[in-house]
């Protein structure tokens, strides 16, 4: 007696596996923000260079809620290379549409933003084998004020992602 295969179930499982397997991801990690993101709080991500041959895209990932009150976000991102070299960038990202609606993906009040760090203008290659560290902190301030915002509300998670270019 042969068993009959449940075709819709098999199709669903196959689709789920295809979507959940992301073969381009090399590194993907998040750090939770306990309550508010303090200006001196640095999210640090440590990883090994996958290789020095392939091209990669690097992203800063953020999860934010409707409590995020700004249309943009300024970050200071520092990449430390294995040989001791450090590259620091001050980056600005658009976080809301002109209507005030927060950008990002998600159907709830939590939005996920995948923000370019390296690889969007020119191909990024890890030039050295070894351990890399990426440090991320916010650099937000209100218009016309010199001092930064001590505690930034609305950011729940900070992440860093490395993807191999296909």
- Mean pLDDT across the stretch 133-145? 92
Domain assignment present for residue 30? The answer is: yes
Domain assignment present for residue 1? The answer is: no
Q: Where do the DSSP E strands lie in the chain?
A: 25-32, 37-38, 43-48, 56-64, 72-80, 86-94, 111-118, 131-138, 151-152, 155-164
- Domain assignment of residue 128, given as a range: 25-164
pLDDT, tens digit (0-9, with 9 covering 90-100), for 9-55: 444 444 444 445 568 999 999 999 988 999 999 999 999 999 999 99
- DSSP, res 96: B
SS3 19: helix
Domain assignment present for residue 76? The answer is: yes
- Mean pLDDT across the stretch 141-165? 93
Domain assignment present for residue 120? The answer is: yes
> Which pLDDT band, with edges at 50, 70 and 90, does 2 fall under?
low
Residue 72 belongs to domain with CATH number: 2.60.120
Q: Which of 6-15, 58-67, 77-86 has the lowest mean pLDDT?
A: 6-15
Q: pTM, whole model, 2 decimals?
A: 0.83
Domain assignment present for residue 39? The answer is: yes
Number of domains in the chain: 1
Q: Does pLDDT of 107 surpass 90?
A: no
Domain assignment present for residue 35? The answer is: yes
Rounded to a whole number of angstroms, the CA Rg of the chain reads: 19
Report pLDDT for 136. 98
Nearest 5 degrees, angle CA 163-CA 57-CA 39? 100
Domain assignment present for residue 160? The answer is: yes
Domain assignment present for residue 69? The answer is: yes
């Amino acid at each position: 007696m042969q068993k009959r295969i449940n075709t819709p179930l098999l199709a669903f499982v196959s689709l789920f596996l295809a979507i959940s397997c992301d073969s381009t991801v090399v590194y993907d990690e998040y750090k939770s923000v306990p309550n508010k993101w303090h200006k001196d709080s640095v999210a640090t991500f440590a990883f090994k260079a996958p290789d020095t041959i392939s091209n990669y895209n690097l992203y800063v990932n953020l999860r934010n809620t409707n409590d995020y009150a700004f249309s943009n976000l300024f970050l200071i991102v520092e990449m430390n290379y294995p040989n001791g070299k450090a590259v620091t960038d001050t980056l600005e990202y658009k976080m809301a549409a002109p209507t005030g609606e927060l950008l990002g993906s998600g159907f709830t009040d939590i939005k996920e933003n995948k923000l370019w760090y390296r690889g969007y203008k020119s191909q990024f290659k890890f030039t050295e084998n070894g351990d890399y560290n990426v440090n991320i902190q916010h650099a937000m301030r209100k218009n016309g004020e010199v001092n930064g915002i001590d505690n930034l509300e609305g950011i729940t998670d900070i992440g860093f992602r490395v993807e191999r270019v296909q």
